[in-house]
Amino acid sequence: MSGDPSAVRVDAQELRDLAARALTRRGATTEHARIQADHLVAAELRGHPSHGLRRLDVLVARIERGLIDPASQPELQWTAAAALTVDGARGFGPVVAYQAIAALRGRLPETGVAVAALHRTHHLGILAPYMEQLAAVGLVGLMLSSTEGLVHPWGGVGALLGTNPIAIGVPASGGDLAVDMSTGAVSAGKILDYRAKGMTLPDGWAVDAAGHRTTDAAEAAEGAISPFGGAKGYALGLAFGAIVGALTGTALGPDVHGTLDADSEVTKGDVIIAIDPVAFAGSDTRTALGDYFALIRGSGADGSTVTVPGDRARAARDRSCAEGVALSADVWARLHELSEAVDPAVADRNEDPS
Amino acid sequence: MSGDPSAVRVDAQELRDLAARALTRRGATTEHARIQADHLVAAELRGHPSHGLRRLDVLVARIERGLIDPASQPELQWTAAAALTVDGARGFGPVVAYQAIAALRGRLPETGVAVAALHRTHHLGILAPYMEQLAAVGLVGLMLSSTEGLVHPWGGVGALLGTNPIAIGVPASGGDLAVDMSTGAVSAGKILDYRAKGMTLPDGWAVDAAGHRTTDAAEAAEGAISPFGGAKGYALGLAFGAIVGALTGTALGPDVHGTLDADSEVTKGDVIIAIDPVAFAGSDTRTALGDYFALIRGSGADGSTVTVPGDRARAARDRSCAEGVALSADVWARLHELSEAVDPAVADRNEDPS
């Protein structure tokens, strides 16, 4: 709990407890609430508040409207020796994803590679922790998710592609690699921030409703986000979404719903690939990769810092654990409301954090 | 064979025969020569001459120096139920890759997913045809290769990353998706072209030897290519190379050799992932994906054409098959030289193509 007027610093465990309480009071099992709450806080720890406790509101609203079943059990079925089909049964994303990953890990000694395809599963949240977990035990991971249509095709009009993120984990000595990125040039939230502040967008972030590049945040909010990296980023985002659609049978592009809103069934999908590199290479490549990453980290031009994906999140997490999680005051206040709103009898537990 | 002064149009089969002859005369088996020659022509057909017959010179030189064994048999070993380890035995890339893909396909009915990790394998050439082959039989494919260090880390100095390409295939009615792209902003060949013509580079393509952005092609040639898409493209390129390194145990970054040069052992690696979507989704998603891609193709702003990855290559291939392959005169002349240089007795088969 720190001095910045717009932010507090709060112990991560306190955040986990409050968020879990908000969920158990709405029917989540203790275990499911704990996993979902931990995962929201995991985003805060890594400096990604957009995927953090701010999302609790939508989760709560979706539970209250019967869209999320906070006590459901996912159905995991091995439909082939290395193919796991997962019906999330409208449960919390992290609950389903961690069960799927545990099943994949259990299969790897036999197959070396295993893939899970998830449907009827809610937002997985920040993807990095899943990849970090695989990398920490020496496994390579690759994840794809489909998301709401927000991105325009290269040269095209309309928000026909999701921001379809990719995450990758590769184990290495001295710090595993963990990529977690969307295939949009920028998040929808950032464009809304710019609009709220009356700021001009950098060129290349978005197009207007007619498909023309714009730096006007209000026009962009009516248009679509551009893919990152031009035609190449468009190709990847489309392909990632297509892989998810092909393996999960879930909705495509503008038919994807239920991640951001609080009033429609979740129709997106997720794919998780887990690979044991030792099954192939026969030897542990972590040292060689660690040496290579050290070379990369030491290549800064003019004294600038070069990071390997995962480095920044690791540093943010270390700092958050030592100093507490930096949280905006409104999110902190809302967290208290949500953790108490259902059962007034516990309102007296509310204590001013400042 | 057409009228453009700097180009000829040649029937694809004639090109395949000439290229295969250049290889059989240097010890390649008829079958290996045919596969490698077909794959070079496959790049020409799709309008990617950088991966076409221009590469025959390096292949020939590598055979003559004993670096490529044009009659070797790769060793394929299932090291786990879905994990195929492939020692290419210094053979032609396409020979090894097509054998690996055939083995993966044979395994899919049992496992649903299978992955091949290739080492001691020469340049696979254009990746799209492998993905097209998988997609044509209803399979999803994903390939990664490591390449020579040509790209700088984001914020860093030096050509420490390969252009590490990714290829993806997804089956869809009305035209499969086939991505095939490097993670560099531009190819090394294009920078050399600009230098040769004294042209200024677009900003963002490259940095100089000190890591500063440059539009001077000569400075760029001494520096490094930028990753496509800034920090995100850097993250992906590094991660793709790391996955290849982890699974194949092959060299990393600046230690990768043997794709472009004619004097060092090949030290790169390749990863091929094949997935049967029907093993997961339980139903064929090709129609749904085809409908979605049709929506994308129809989204052109102001009448512009929007393509799904694979569309352009398909159109180029159709045209090349109908009208002949457009080939630069120097490549055409060199193809004749190479197909005749070893055995003068067949020189009389040389006929003027014009």
- Write out pLDDT tens, residues A112-167: 999 999 999 999 999 999 999 999 999 999 999 999 999 999 999 999 999 999 99
Q: Is B333 left (phi over 0), alpha (psi -120 to 50) or beta?
A: alpha
CATH of domain B7-68+324-349: 1.10.1530.10
Rounded-to-integer distance, Cα B38 and Cα B42, Å = 6
The nearest CA of chain B is from the CA of A37 a distance in Å of 28
Average model confidence (pLDDT) across chain A: 93
The pair phi, psi for residue B243, each rounded to 5°, is -60, -45
CA B351 to chain centre: 30
For residue B348, is pLDDT > 70? no
How far is Cα B186 from Cα A53, in angstroms, rounded to an integer?
40
Looking at chain A, the whole-number percentage of residues with pLDDT higher than 90 is 90
Model confidence band, residue B137 (pLDDT cutoffs 50, 70, 90): very high
CA distance B53 to A336: 67
pLDDT on residue A6: 65
Provide the Cα torsion A36, A41, A46, A51; round to 10°.
60
B82 to chain A nearest CA, in Å? 5
The pLDDT of residue A2 is: 40
Architecture per CATH, domain B74-182+229-312, reads as 2-Layer Sandwich (3.30)
Give the pLDDT band (50/70/90) at residue B342.
low
Q: How far does B76 lie from chain A, in Å, by closest CA?
A: 11
* Three-class DSSP category at B152: coil
Domain boundaries, chain A: 7-68+324-349, 73-182+230-309, 185-226
Give the pLDDT confidence score for residue A14 in this predicted structure. Answer: 96
Tokens of A242: 């297509």
Of A81, A83, A289, Cβ closest to residue B242: A289
> In degrees rounded to 5, what are phi and psi of residue A139?
-105, 150
Asked whether the beta carbons of residue B153 and residue A306 sit closer than 8 angstroms, the reply is yes
* Lookup result for tokens 């457009």: B326
pLDDT band at B108 (very low <50, low <70, confident <90, very high): very high
- Mean pLDDT value of segment A79-103: 98
pLDDT of residue A212: 94
Q: What is the pLDDT of residue A105?
A: 98
Partners of residue B224 in chain A, C-beta under 8 Å: none
Could you tell me the pLDDT band of residue A1, with boundaries at 50, 70 and 90?
very low
**Mean pLDDT of the A175-182 span:** 98
- Determine the number of helices (DSSP H) and then strands (DSSP E) in chain A: 12, 14
Q: In terms of CA atoms, which chain B residue is nearest residue A284?
A: B246
- pLDDT, tens only, B162-220: 999 999 999 999 999 999 999 999 999 899 999 999 999 999 999 999 999 999 999 99
- Burial category of A131 from C-beta neighbours within 10 Å (exposed 0-12, middle 13-18, buried 19 and up): buried
Distance of CA B91 to the CA centre of its chain: 16
Q: What is the pLDDT, as a whole number, of residue A138? A: 97
- How confident is the model over A204-258, as pLDDT tens digits? 999 999 999 999 999 999 999 999 999 999 999 999 999 999 999 999 999 999 9
Give the pLDDT confidence score for residue A345 in this predicted structure. Answer: 42
Nearest chain A residue to B244 by CA: give it.
A277
- Written as six digits, the tokens of B260 are 């472009």
Rounded Cα gap, residues B193 and B188, in angstroms: 9
Q: Which residues are CB-neighbours of B232 under 8 A, at least 6 positions away?
A: A181, A228, A229, A233
Number of cross-chain residue pairs from A and B with Cβ atoms under 8 Å apart: 275
Write down the mean pLDDT value for chain B. 93
Asked if residue B6 has pLDDT above 80, the reply is: no
In which band, very low, low, confident or very high, does the pLDDT at A305 lie, cut at 50, 70 and 90?
A: confident
Q: What is the dihedral of CA A256, A257, A258, A261, to 10 degrees?
A: 140
A291 pLDDT band (50/70/90 cuts)? Answer: very high
The answer, yes or no, to whether residue B323 has pLDDT greater than 70, is yes
Residue A302 has pLDDT above 90, yes or no: no
Question: What pLDDT is stored for residue B290 in this prediction?
Answer: 98
Contact status, residue A166 vs residue A138, Cβ threshold 8 Å: no
Report the relative pairing of strands A113-121 and A83-91 from DSSP bridges. parallel
Instruction: Provide the pLDDT confidence category of residue A3 given band limits of 50, 70 and 90.
Output: very low
- C-alpha B324/C-alpha A166 separation (Å) is 40
Looking at the complex, report in whole angstroms how far the Cα of residue A256 sits from the nearest Cα belonging to chain B.
12
How much of chain A, in percent, has pLDDT values that exceed 70?
94
Closest CA to B138 of B110, B113, B173, B168: B173
**Which chain A residue has the Cα nearest residue B182?**
A232
pLDDT score of A274 more than 70: yes
What the block records as the tokens of A289 is 């990769």
Share of chain B above pLDDT 70, in %: 94
Task: State the pairing for strand pair B83-91/B113-121.
Answer: parallel
pLDDT in tens, A28-78: 999 999 999 999 999 999 999 999 999 999 999 999 999 999 999 999 999
Interchain pair B112, A115: CB under 8 A:
yes
CATH number of the A73-182+230-309 domain: 3.30.1370.60
This prediction has a pTM of 0.95
Q: How confident is the model at residue B345 (pLDDT cuts 50, 70, 90)?
A: very low
Tell me how crowded residue A213 is: count the other CB atoms within 10 A of its CB: 15
Q: What is the pLDDT of residue A354?
A: 38
Q: Respond yes or no on whether ipTM tops 0.90.
A: yes
- Of the candidates A221, A223, A192, A222, which has an alpha carbon nearest to the alpha carbon of residue A207? A223
All residues of chain B having their beta carbon less than 8 Å from the beta carbon of residue A109 are 80
Q: According to the model, what pLDDT value does residue B13 have?
A: 97
d(CA B243, CA A276): 11
In chain B, what is the straight-line distance between the N-terminal and C-terminal CA atoms, in Å?
6
**Contact check, Cβ <8 Å, A232/B233:** yes
Band (pLDDT 50/70/90 cuts) for residue B346 is very low
Nearest to B26, CA basis, from B56, B51, B1, B63: B63
Q: Please name the residue that has the structure tokens 């949240």.
A: A125
Confidence of residue A350 (pLDDT cuts 50, 70, 90): very low
For B244, the 3-state DSSP assignment is: helix
Q: How far apart are CA B326 and CA B10, in angstroms?
A: 7
When pLDDT is cut at 50, 70 and 90, the band that residue B4 belongs to is low
Q: Determine which of B87, B113, B291 to mutate to test the interface with A (most A C-beta atoms within 10 Å).
A: B113
Residue A346 has pLDDT above 70, yes or no: no
CATH of segment(s) A185-226? 3.30.60.50
pLDDT value of residue A282: 79
Q: How confident is the model at residue B31 (pLDDT cuts 50, 70, 90)?
A: very high
- Can you give the pLDDT at residue B341? 66
Query: Which of B152, B250, B292 to mutate to test binding with chain A, by most A CBs within 10 Å of its CB?
Result: B292
Residue A344 pLDDT greater than 60, yes or no = no
